[in-house]
Amino acid sequence: MSKVTVKDLDVKGKHVIVRVDFNVPHKNGVITDDNRVRAALPTINYLTENGAKVLLLSHLGKVKTDEDKAKNDMSIVADCLAKLQSAPVTFVNATRGEELEAAVKAQEDGSIVLMQNTRYEKGESKNDPELGAYWASLGDLFVEDAFGSVHRAHASTVGIATHLPSALGFLVEKEVNVLGKALNDPERPLVAILGGAKVSDKIAVIENLLKIADKVLIGGGMSYTFSKAMGGEIGTSLLEADRIELAKEFLAKGEGKLFLPVDTVVANDFSNPTEIKTVKAGEIPEGFMGLDIGPATVELFKKELEGAKTVFWNGPMGVFEDERFAKGTIEVCETLANLDGATTIIGGGDSASAAKNLGFAEKFSHISTGGGASLEFMEGKDLPGISIIPDKE
């Protein structure tokens, strides 16, 4: 897939609308992690340095009530952005109307306008044609640089691009190149590690990876549904009873390449356990729940990762937020971080948080900025925010 990129556009003196992902974590009006803002800087800086007039659009949080609006005001990001780069930043507390139009019209080359949260507009998530057309009317060109939102057909991701010459920004271009190679032309062996709570969240990605990966290792809460499908006892562990037959199908399809935990760390209560122990997989006593993979599973997964040339990881191995049940996730993270000669990719989400919190982020080849988008990409799905961008001629 070779898409038009920002470098293919003549941007000098042009109004360039850029869809960025400034959906940053924040508390009491303070950003707690500015990585998403930093990730957008290469594209923003390229545009301002080449004389573009940049209009930035992003959502922030979920906006369903007036309280949500107040909590997810984009002005906190304007302050952060102004500190991280040298171009002048104007924040406009509007998503349409005279104030926004005047601010855009008054822009000089190399300046930035950041608009208020796109989700203040009800038509955003419905890809309202009128809204997409209105936003497009504010610019000459459109650049898609919000990988975390490209799997959604919204007015700001697809609507604008239907009206303007469009291209990928550097962040999305990198995501497409790295994930595309892992999916379509990986250096082998390709090993996928999938964790997280539910089989239902990852049905399509398991199905696709069983076709293309050399090995698929499964941990986390969803492994207990597989254990039950194999006739195991899982106590009070997380179970999707309606997915047992599907798990059996995956077990049959993945024979020889699907690897499940052989032991599990269990506790007699989720919040305040009085007993924590390690038992064999499928032998969890009544009244106990599985909350992490055990040491024998860690060793099994390490063995199966030996010699891997491409690894895709999405989802923790247990309830890693609780240090008592974090060891499996930590061990997998550390193993991947020190895997010589391999391209190691984290598909965003909790796995990315784990790598960053544990100090291993720099040791991975690529950490995706979009958990949902990276999973849909690995499912082989078309992502509307990317599909709308024209191919290079």
CA 359/CA 361 separation, integer angstroms: 6
Same domain, yes or no: 373 and 291: yes
In a domain, 125, yes or no: yes
199 and 292 part of one domain: yes
Does the residue 392 lie in any domain? no
Is residue 359 among the annotated active site residues?
no
Residues 114 and 260 in one domain: no
Examine the domain organization and report whether 162 and 217 are in the same domain: no
**Which one of 220, 349, 371, 385 is the catalytic residue?**
349
Asked which of 171, 205, 234 is the last residue of a domain, the reply is 171
Q: Is residue 133 in some structural domain?
A: yes
Q: What is the CATH number of the domain that holds 318?
A: 3.40.50.1260
For residue 65, give the nearest of 105, 22, 119 by alpha carbon: 119
**Helices 203-212/244-253 angle, 10° precision:** 10
Per DSSP, 108 falls in state P
**Model-level pTM?**
0.92
36, 53, 119, 152: the active-site residue: 36
Domain range enclosing 353: 186-378
Burial of 306 (0-12, 13-18, 19+ CB in 10 A): exposed
348 in a domain, yes or no?
A: yes
> Which tens digit of pLDDT belongs to each residue from 132-170?
999 999 999 999 999 999 999 999 999 999 999 999 999
Q: How far apart are CA 166 and CA 393, in angstroms?
A: 14
Range with lowest mean pLDDT among 177-186, 245-254, 270-279, 349-358: 349-358
Catalytic residue among 198, 248, 309, 381: 198
Q: Which of 148, 195, 372, 385 is labelled catalytic?
A: 372
Mean pLDDT over residues 36-60, rounded? 97
pLDDT tens-digit series, residues 275-334: 999 999 999 999 999 999 999 999 999 999 999 999 999 999 999 999 999 999 999 999
Q: What is the C-alpha to C-alpha distance for residues 389 and 142, in angstroms, rounded to an integer?
A: 9
Q: How far apart are CA 235 and CA 289, in angstroms?
A: 6
Is the CB of residue 321 less than 8 Å from the CB of residue 291?
A: no
Mean pLDDT for all residues in the chain: 96
Distance CA 224, CA 271 (A): 19
Helix (H, G, I), strand (E, B) or coil at 202: coil
* Confidence (pLDDT) at 1: 56
Spatial separation of the C-alpha atoms in residues 151 and 147, rounded to whole Å: 8
36 is catalytic: yes
Is 181 inside any structural domain? no
pLDDT (tens digit per residue) in 195-236: 999 999 899 999 999 999 999 999 999 999 999 999 999 999
Question: Is the domain of 126 the same as that of 205?
Answer: no
Query: Domain check: are 29 and 137 in the same one?
Result: yes
**Count: domains in the chain:** 2
Q: Give yes or no: 347 in active site.
A: no
Parallel, antiparallel or unpaired: strands 310-314 and 343-346? parallel
